A and B are shown apart, each in its own frame.
Chain A
Amino acid sequence: MLLRLARGSLFNRRAAVSLTVATIAISIALLVLVEQMRGQVREGFYRSVSGTDLIVGAPTSSVQLLLFSVFGIGQPARNIGFERYLELIDDPMVEWAVPISLGDSYRGVRVVATTGDFYRHYRYAGGQALEFAHGRAPDKTFEAVLGARAAHGLGLALGDTMVLAHGGGNVSLHHHDDHPFEIIGVLAATGTPVDHSIYIPLAAQHELHREWQQGVPPRRPAGGRVQSPGPAPVDRDGEHDHDGKHDNDGKHDHDNKHADVHDHGPRGSHDHGQADADLHAHEDAAEAAKLPEEISAALLGLRTRAAALGMQYRINRAEGEPLYAILPGLALQELWRITALAEQILRVVAAMVVLAGLLGMLAALLSTLNERRREMAILRACGARPWQVSGLLLLEAVLIVVAGIGAGVLLAALILRLAAPMLLDRLGIAVGFNAFEPWQWLVLAVIAAAGVLVALVPAVMAYRRTLSDGMQVRL
């Protein structure tokens, strides 16, 4: 009965009412987006590490180790010896270990040197394995695999070749143009940072820097060994300054005493499939010779996840070259503690905006109160009790709030859907609209209740006025 009157009255003032609803909707959308993004980013990060039990690197902060090893953010301060990696593989608790070696890039895209184990063992999003959209894993040294977004962003496809640059930025002083890579695989999209990198065999990276000393490439006639760069987009925007000053942070600080061991001459002798460089390749001295001295980090999968804590303890206490092992989940928690303040600020801002939206509704309701005195008197004359008259106002406010919340949630879902490609591009995180958690429903319910509370103000005013006005408005 009242509902039909409320609907009619709202429809009558639909222009003003839709503005009020829009105000609330926008504020709710902001609140929902902040929460959704928070949850989605966390979830997205968690997806990337959910299949990894331990990450091992040189001693650093756990957040830094996590960020550079899995998320492609930042650089390792130091590397770990490859022998230590081999020891890790041999540990009976370790089911698989994927080496990660950083330091090169291609047009700003990070190049990750790893082994075939990466394609075989890396898991994301609760156990999903990597799949190839096109091509296959490398079995020759100078073959590269692209992540889905990297392939898309660079506009490269199977069969194209590329020359890597030393260092991480777009502008690099040195290009490894004597060793172009052929793209032989493109990974299917994962919605994780995996999509954003280029993957090359560990042996290839070693080969690129084989003759370097103290992070400096050997003097050689420029372009002396270039083997037909190929038709593909080849990055030639930098100077081939082989005396170049590189970041002498030591990550390419190859031990000189092994230089002879690795001297195999140019490509061709490196056709040993990197995909075969599995767990036991190192036992073969000849194979080991093609492997580097150092890697940036290793991702470990254990036979039982429960062993992770004990294993971490053992690694961190091991003698010799210090290693640092982290549990990715705990490191993420640490990261979230760092970002918590920003999240809280965003939440507070969103809450303020919701409050502003509700106050906007209050202003709109109050402004109509005077012009509606006549209507209230008519209802009174028809026998409406004062509470029914003010109840009508309250009901209208409830309808506005509910419509505003509903529209806000839809708006947030829409924005999220529109923003998803950009987020995937920038952050490598696949976002969708998550179902609300119970507490989030509770927040919306509390907002609705706050809206009703706010609407009580005009309702009470209307109640008092109808009592004093009666059937006649004394103007």
Chain B
Amino acid sequence: MSEPLLLLDDLEFRWPADSVPVIAGLNLVIEAGERVFLAGASGSGKSTLLALIGGLIVPDRGSIRLAGKPLESIGAAARDRYRADHVGIIFQQLNLLPWLDAIGNVRLGIRFSALRGKRVPDPDAEAARLLEAMELPRDRWSRPANELSIGQQQRVAAARALFGRPDLILADEPTSALDTDRRDRFIELLFDQAELAGSAILFVSHDRSLAGQFDRQIELADINRAEGSQCS
């Protein structure tokens, strides 16, 4: 245990169109396999933070070390590859290519990562295992994603994020479109599979009632010192 999985050090970022930074002086450490709940209202810089961790944008100041590599010092293409290799992402909704079946959408998780691909010698079997584990009915596996219910789509999205055992799962309000029962079951299944895969989870949500299930809870407003962060 030399280095944490993710280390955000004094991050600052300002969108070119804005006058003030949306993120400033932000520090965050996530250890491998840790489950972290990050609470924040929309507009608090959540999406920007996820884009920074995903390597889609680089901070104006500070450093992002993911799995030992500083993202701000490598090129855009390398960051894309790094994201594909180390991060699985689940959004609030519309995670899937609507015309692709569930299995195909899960397999998208390793389409762009040779590293994660190597961990999955038999992609179809592993996709089936994950869909089974996420409790997607077997008769849905070959259906196009747009024929699945929202809850089913989120489970497919989770299976894709977990596919190839990435180091970190970024989950951006993945349960906000689900009702309470499904939400709890979803988080349960996600935790089980993340543990199996050895993936850490950074779970972003405004719904603080979920926070108790995580190892650690953080208020984004507490760690983000940007002044405009509440209204950007």
Given A383-B83, A385-B77, A470-B56, decide whether A8 and B100 contact each other with a Cβ distance below 8 A.
Answer: yes
Partner of B111 from A1, A13, A471 at Cβ < 8 Å = A1
Partner of A471 from B51, B76, B77, B97 at Cβ < 8 Å = B51
Partner-binding segment picked from B32-40, B84-92, B216-224: B84-92
B119-161 contact mask (Cβ, 8 Å, vs A): 1 or 0: 0000000000000000000000000100000000000000010
Partner of B99 from A12, A379, A382, A383 at Cβ < 8 Å = A12
* Known contacts A382-B112, A383-B80, then 5 further A-B pairs from the complex at CB < 8 Å, ordered by chain A residue: A9-B99, A382-B111, A383-B81, A470-B51, A470-B57
B29 at the interface (CB under 8 A from A): no
Residues from chain B with a CB closer than 8 A to the CB of A282 are: none
B113 at the interface (CB under 8 A from A): yes
Residues A385 and B99 in contact, CB atoms below 8 Å apart:
no
Instruction: Give the shortest distance, in Å, between A11 (CB) and chain B (any CB).
Output: 7
Residues A382 and B84 in contact, CB atoms below 8 Å apart:
yes
Partner of A378 from B56, B57, B77, B97 at Cβ < 8 Å = B97
Residues B97 and A380 in contact, CB atoms below 8 Å apart:
no
Return the chain A residue nearest B144 by Cβ. A12
Residues from chain A with a CB closer than 8 A to the CB of B99 are: 8-9, 11-13
Count how many pairs of residues, one from A and one from B, have CB atoms less than 8 Å apart in the complex. 73
Residues B96 and A378 in contact, CB atoms below 8 Å apart:
yes
Q: How many residues of A contact B (CB 8 A)?
A: 22
Return the chain B residue nearest A374 by Cβ. B94
A442 at the interface (CB under 8 A from B): no
Residues A12 and B98 in contact, CB atoms below 8 Å apart:
yes
Return the chain A residue nearest B77 by Cβ. A385
Residues A385 and B98 in contact, CB atoms below 8 Å apart:
no
Residues A472 and B51 in contact, CB atoms below 8 Å apart:
yes
- CA A382 – CA B87 in complex, angstroms? 8
Residues from chain A with a CB closer than 8 A to the CB of B91 are: 381, 471-472
Residues B84 and A383 in contact, CB atoms below 8 Å apart:
yes
Residues B95 and A378 in contact, CB atoms below 8 Å apart:
yes
B54 at the interface (CB under 8 A from A): yes
Residues A471 and B50 in contact, CB atoms below 8 Å apart:
yes
A375 at the interface (CB under 8 A from B): yes
Task: Give the interface of A toward B (CB within 8 A).
Answer: 1, 5, 8-9, 11-13, 374-375, 378-386, 388, 470-472
Residues A382 and B108 in contact, CB atoms below 8 Å apart:
yes
Residues from chain B with a CB closer than 8 A to the CB of A12 are: 98-99, 144
Residues from chain B with a CB closer than 8 A to the CB of A379 are: 97, 108, 112
- CA A11 – CA B112 in complex, angstroms? 22
Instruction: Give the shortest distance, in Å, between A380 (CB) and chain B (any CB).
Output: 7
- CA A12 – CA B83 in complex, angstroms? 28
Residues A375 and B97 in contact, CB atoms below 8 Å apart:
yes
Return the chain B residue nearest A9 by Cβ. B99
| 9 smallest beta-carbon distances between A and B, as pairs | A383-B84, A12-B99, A383-B112, A470-B56, A385-B80, A381-B89, A382-B108, A383-B83, A384-B112
Residues A471 and B96 in contact, CB atoms below 8 Å apart:
no
Residues from chain A with a CB closer than 8 A to the CB of B56 are: 380, 470-471
Return the chain B residue nearest A385 by Cβ. B80
- CA A1 – CA B104 in complex, angstroms? 12
Return the chain A residue nearest B99 by Cβ. A12
Instruction: Give the shortest distance, in Å, between A389 (CB) and chain B (any CB).
Output: 10
Partner of A388 from B50, B57, B112, B160 at Cβ < 8 Å = B112
Residues A382 and B109 in contact, CB atoms below 8 Å apart:
yes
B47 at the interface (CB under 8 A from A): yes
B45-87 contact mask (Cβ, 8 Å, vs A): 1 or 0: 0010011001011000000000000000000110011011101
- CA A470 – CA B109 in complex, angstroms? 17
Residues from chain B with a CB closer than 8 A to the CB of A378 are: 94-97, 108
